[in-house]
Amino acid sequence: MDDTDQAPRSSAPKPARRGVVTVVLHAHLPYIRHPEWASFYEETWLYEAISETYLPLLRMMDTLESEGVDFRLTMSVTPPLCEMLADALLRGRFASRLDALERTARKEAERQEGTPLADSARFAVQELESVRATWERWGGEVLAGLRHHEQRGCLELMTCGATHGYLPLMATDEARRAQIAVACDTHERHFGRRPRGIWLPECAYAPELEWILADAGIRYFFLEKHGLLHAQPPARFGTARPVLTESGVAAFARDPECSNQIWSAESGYPGDPYYREFYRDLGYDGTEDQVGELLTGGGFRHPVGLKYHRITGKVRLDEKAPYLPLAARYQAAAHAADFLARRQHQLARLGEQMSLEPVVVAPFDAELFGHWWFEGPMFLEFLFRKAHFDQPLDGTSVGLATPCEVLDAEQPIEVVHPAQSSWGDRGYYRVWLNEGNSWFYKHLHAAEEAMVRLANTLVQPGSWELRAVNQAARELLLAQSSDWAFLVTMATAGDYPKSRTLLHLKRFQLLVEQLDDGVIDVDFLLECERRDNLFANIDFREWRSDRVLRHGAGAAVHSAPVHGR
């Protein structure tokens, strides 16, 4: 598929606009797949995200398509998430869990008849029925639905690092390049085209990463705001315009003003008292008879996704009021209107200072929309509908655009050297490199170097050697996932992130030893392949040193004049 596959867009005249907003969702979960267990708690992270975020977002896109709304949304779907969404085992387990959720919700709706929770319990059943309808509409293939909307031209899909590895903290360019190369190949396998954009894992940038992106054919990436504000020279328009790096790859930066309207714990929309309360869940409130079918075992309670209360205010969880679905929907519509009005004022203000079209980038974790903020997909649906139908014709309307559309407009763009940055706490790397997880890196760096050595020395491996070295590459990628270091810092997943890192490093080390000794333990290899079966077409040669683009050699360098005050 290429650009010619996109459906023709409306030729009707559009209102003059003052600038554009680029809405960006970063959809990612770590690769968690445990075929050795009948059920596994951490796998429920995926099932919750499918039912609460990915299917509601897909339902939103389907609804807007049916109404003729020409929306614009940019979305990364990371390679681990792609692989999990396409995996037959995980899709089957999700379908079974959706069945169990519906059974439990229907029983609870019957039990709550005549109580203050009756409306919210009935609504939960209706929501799950709607989610199931979207699941069945796409045959259980979420990626097929996303691919459809990209082909229509309303959705722009991006990739990420192969396993969301924290690129600036890797020791070798070979490892960084392999993360990008495997990611691009995986994206193409699932979506039928090479990715044009990338969400750098954790939005973490270090100088010269852009050359690796250029070599992979990437057109743009995203930065935290100070990546441009502290650039050399500082970006002339701050975060209000993309810039070019010397590699020719463009960088967009997060706009703090519009992001705070969502993210702010004090004033952000998701904290509205009428919205659904995330932390009060039937998994804790219900008896074992009520929720036992949804618990994963191990003798502990956990959220199951059935929530019947609203935020209410700053009260204890047991004082939360019943959820009022219609009131929450009204609030989502009002907040979408407020967000759009604020963007109109913001773009008007920026436009008075610039001769170029301002660009406001609004990036968020996709899982915020639906999982953490239940009404988030409603908010986006109202936002896109209002942007399409209800804008003024006086030149103050807000356009919606994808990054490629912004770049294709061919307005002048300045060249800068972005600053080291990430969107983590304090804006740099400390979440992923601190006293709790720093020990990860000496082992990860040693594994990187071993992988590079194998890639450079294995010339014509036999069939079992080839499978073993490719599996070693998978284990290294999985060990490099930034999620493990993040979860250690957050202390929200017990020993699981530490054990996953050590497990993959151990498997990697054993495979390397077998390759060095020339004796492959076939049973061990087959078990590794069964458990960690992502990246079917992985090629260990991606770690070869002669594939690294050095100092920008051979990459196109673009420059353009800068206009505007």
From the list 317, 413, 306, the residue with the least C-alpha distance to 359 is 413
Catalytic-residue membership of 48: no
* Spatial contact of 547 and 458, defined as CB atoms under 8 Å apart: no
For residues 137 and 554, what is the distance between their CA atoms, to the nearest angstrom? 46
The residue to which tokens 């319990």 are assigned: 121
* Burial (Cβ within 10 Å: 0-12, 13-18, ≥19) of residue 188: middle
Instruction: List b or e across 10-30, with b for residues whose CB sees 16 or more CB atoms inside 10 angstroms.
Output: eeeeeeebbbbbbbbbbbbbb
Instruction: Catalytic residue, from 141, 365, 405, 539: name it.
Output: 365
* Spatial contact of 474 and 531, defined as CB atoms under 8 Å apart: no
Catalytic-residue membership of 365: yes
How would you classify the pairing of strands 243-244 and 250-253? antiparallel
CA distances from 526 to 8, 32, 359, 508, 541 (A): 48, 18, 50, 14, 21
Task: Kindly calculate the radius of gyration of the chain based on its CA atoms and give it in whole angstroms.
Answer: 24
* Burial (Cβ within 10 Å: 0-12, 13-18, ≥19) of residue 313: exposed
For residues 482 and 13, what is the distance between their CA atoms, to the nearest angstrom? 46
From the list 409, 489, 477, the residue with the least C-alpha distance to 444 is 477
How would you classify the pairing of strands 359-365 and 243-244? unpaired
Coil, helix or strand for 217?
Answer: coil
The residue to which tokens 């929450």 are assigned: 328
Instruction: Count CB-CB contacts under 10 A for residue 419.
Output: 21
CA distances from 322 to 117, 140, 280, 327 (A): 6, 32, 11, 11
* Spatial contact of 230 and 422, defined as CB atoms under 8 Å apart: no
From the list 310, 440, 405, 369, the residue with the least C-alpha distance to 71 is 405
Write the CB contacts of 319 (distance below 8 Å, at least 6 apart in sequence). 312
From the list 322, 306, 408, the residue with the least C-alpha distance to 359 is 408
Write the CB contacts of 234 (distance below 8 Å, at least 6 apart in sequence). 228, 416
For residues 136 and 206, what is the distance between their CA atoms, to the nearest angstrom? 43
Instruction: Catalytic residue, from 43, 52, 174, 202: name it.
Output: 202
Active site residues: 202, 365
